[in-house]
Structure 1
Amino acid sequence: MKEPLKKMRWNDLNIIHLYEKNEVSPAADILIGGDFCPLRNYETRLLRGDRIFSDSLSRLFHQHDFTLVNLEAPLCAPALPTMSRLGFGLRCDPRIAKTLKALGIDAVGLANNHILDYRAEGLFQTMKTLEQASLLHAGAGRNLEDAERPLETICNGLRIGIWILAEKELNCAGENTPGSSFFSPERNLPRIAGMREKYDFLIIYLHAGHEFTSTPSPRIRSACRAFIDAGADLVIGHHPHVIQGVEQYGNGWIAYSLGNLVFDSDYVAAYPNTDRGFLVSLAAGRHHLNRLTLIPYKMTENYTVESLDEKDFSAFASGLQEISAPLREDAAFQKAWERNIRFRWETEYRQILRDFSRNFFNPDNSDYALRTGNLFTCPTHLEMFQEICRMHLEGKLNRDSES
């Protein structure tokens, strides 16, 4: 985005108005959020009936024809076995499903890296609980065919298709085994043309990318653009826990990461800017946008989600402009990406490599091998290691080398 962002007030909210087309035609008003993981304090507040969204944000959820978020944790019984022998996994009380419905959420995506934390039974309980609460879901299922089925809804006479995909980790379904759909451009792209013909508006909802990085990797940028080239109208990403840039590309738009919507985790909170995110509000026509609006917010120390005041909004808008600008220029994009590699090397990956040599081949530490092996089989983690090696060989990995 080279032009200054258009900041406006809408329904008592400070918003960023990206695009509007002056056309009188049927449109579906859709609201999309990122990672919704009401652990710990958020779970307590929701089950107690406390408000977690500000009044202005609450109204927003109910004012749209259709609202979607990513459910980042299964809704299942705590006694189920976890994927890890250490007993660690993300899960929420099944009663959360009814609170989602009361919040005005119509559907949830299940394609993410935590959906199998409580194994197949955790997924099955989640699906059943959502259906009992009359919530639509897609992105995971009893087998790969089921998991890859797009979410479908009809809004204002328009048939909307949302294909929900996740990074390929330990979460993925197989031909005869349950799990999530998976993000693989070679596999995904050939199906886009058929979906474009079937739906009036096609959204790719993607749980992928590098955590805590403000710039998408070259692999993610290339794939998201390829989705648009193949016929998708809009690509929306989540998973990095922080926001990433937004760009208009070809005949569509890409929001690379919406950031956290609701997330209570000490590990995540230790990183900067994980308390901020934005919702995407759009008016979808027949393979075009009538309107595209971003609604920023912040998670508070009181475990609520509030709209931004003027000071916070100004900082948010400036930050979004800064991280979006390099997306259109390859040299600037590469420089921004390499800054993020240095950050991840210093904050996590250096220690991962130190621990790896001591623990991976230890026969008494098979759980470590399971978790760490994923770092070398997941395309995103493997990409980071490859980039770290490249930058080390080029003498670019240390901050002193940054120009």
Structure 2
Amino acid sequence: MPKWRIIILLAIFIGFWFNAGAQGKDKPMEEQRIKLFLGGDVMTGRGIDQALPVSVDPVIYESYVKDARGYLQLAEKENGRIEVPVSYSYIWGDALKIWKLEEPHLKLINLETSVTTHNEPWPGKGIQYRMHPKNVQVLTAARIDHVSLANNHVMDWSREGLKETLKTLKKAGIQYSGAGKDTQAAIKPAVITTEAGRILVFSYGARTSGIPRSWEAGKDISGVNLLTGLGKKEVREITHSIDAVKKEGDLVIFSIHWGGNWGYEIPERHKVFAHKLIDEAGVDLVFGHSSHHPIGIEVYKEKLIIYGAGDFMNDYEGISGHEEYRPYLSLMYFPEIDMATGRVVKLKMVPMQIKKFRLRQANERDVLWLQRVLNREGGKLGTAVISEKQALRLKWE
């Protein structure tokens, strides 16, 4: 064989060998990255429950509304008739196609409602959310993997309501954390196994979000995983809880219901607490909620902190007040995390609009408004967002 042919064949072989080696190096890195979907407060009780195929008794004991169907009527007055009953996939609307496009490995939300037919509300509780246990199919229709329960509505219908909520979720195959039959069960994280590794989800609720002190789980009493403070003592206890479960390679998500419903100011103690969770407790992602609208986002030491995700789905249509926050808008969060280090690689957000109890992609005007708000608030935290078609992408220093 002529020398020139040997040289060509050798060059081809070497090129193939280098290319295969490069692909082999890239592949493990791709396998270490995981994409999540995070949704803020999902409030499928009250008006939304009344629109679903099976509804609880509509009687509620709120100051101004005594029938949950009133919230359905307010929504119809605001945006037009809703043909009820709606299907279990109805409320998710455009979110279904976005999930299909983004293909997140896991979907996590804060479920802010009791799932029960129990008729005794918590004494003195001003707002009462619940949906019929059969309507848990609204969550399975969206293939929700995990719900956080440490919030100020999960026990609106007393401890019997919580008991049925836990039973219903377990039967539906939906993992949860943040509430349980006693302290040990309430503190216990959800352990979710994926091809990329284990995800540990710890859920806590702070008193600042309106959770009654009496809801705290005890040694022999059911309740929520309540944080009575945000100091060194709580950080030590959380660190101990994480260390007891965490193994090398695990990703730790800290879901926390904290703060008020309206306003953009992030209390300094929230920032300090979130930083200490990352510095001392080994948390990789802080997923905060309670605010009815999205607030500032931070990346601290390459770890993502969402201080307030905003409501993802609610029954607030037609309720006046707080229009300046555009509470009909919500965000779908799609963080991509490096499993090996816990660092956030990318955060894509898709703005949505709640209309007729259904999620629709937000129009350009609302997308630009959200971009301005997140840039204004994120600028105080070293982050900014840029628009990408109908989505937003986070930038950080």
TM-score, structure 1 as length reference = 0.70
Instruction: Give the equivalent residue in structure 2 for 1:187.
Output: 234
1:295–1:159 CA distance, 2 compared to 1 (3 A): same
**Partner of residue 116, structure 2:** 76
| 1:291 to 1:189, Cα distance in 2 relative to 1, 3 A | farther
Is the 2:314–2:357 contact (alpha carbons within 8 Å) kept by the matching residues of 1? Answer: no
Structural mapping, 1:345-356, within 5 Å: none
The offset of 1:260, in angstroms, is: 0.6
Q: Write the distance in 1 (CA, Å) between the matches of 2:316 and 2:154.
A: 17
The corresponding residue for 1:214 is 264
Structure 2 letter corresponding to 1:312: D
CA distance 1:314–1:267, shift in 2 (3 Å): closer
Q: Cα–Cα, structure 1 residues 202 and 87, in superposed 2: closer, same or farther, change >3 Å?
A: closer
2:76 corresponding residue in structure 1: none
Number of aligned residue pairs: give it: 305
Q: Which residue of 2 aligns with 1:163?
A: 202
What is aligned with 2:273? 223
Larger Rg: 2
Structure 1 residues 122-170: Cα deviation after superposition (integer angstroms, max 9, x where no partner): 0000011111211111110011110011111012231111111101332
SS of alignment partner, residue 104 of structure 1: coil
User: Conserved in 1, the CA contact under 8 Å of 2:118 and 2:160?
Assistant: no
Q: 1:87 to 1:164 in 2, by over 3 A?
A: closer
1:107 equivalent among 146, 150, 161? 146
Q: Deviations over 1:242-294 (max 9, x none)?
A: 21100111231111111111111479763232222212212332233343222
Match of 2:287 in 1: 236
**Distance in 2 (alpha carbons) for counterparts of 1:88 and 1:28:** 37
Q: Is the 8 A contact 1:28 1:158 kept in 2?
A: no
Matched, 1:120 2:126: no
CA distance in 1: counterparts of 2:275 and 2:125, whole angstroms: 39
TM-score (norm 2): 0.71
Q: Does the CA contact (< 8 Å) of 1:52 and 1:304 recur in 2?
A: yes
- What residue number does 2:39 align with? 33
Does the Cα contact within 8 Å between 1:67 and 1:105 map onto a contact in 2? yes
Q: Is the 8 A contact 2:118 2:161 kept in 1?
A: no
Q: What residue is the counterpart of 2:105 in the other structure?
A: 65
RMSD: 2.4
Aligned ranges for residues 2-401 of structure 1 at < 5 Å?
Answer: 23-47=29-53, 48-50=85-87, 51-55=90-94, 57-61=95-99, 63-79=103-119, 81-85=120-124, 89-168=128-207, 169-170=211-212, 171-183=215-227, 184-185=229-230, 186-192=233-239, 194=243, 197=247, 200-230=250-280, 231-265=282-316, 270-272=321-323, 273=325, 274-284=327-337, 285-288=339-342, 289-300=344-355, 302-327=356-381
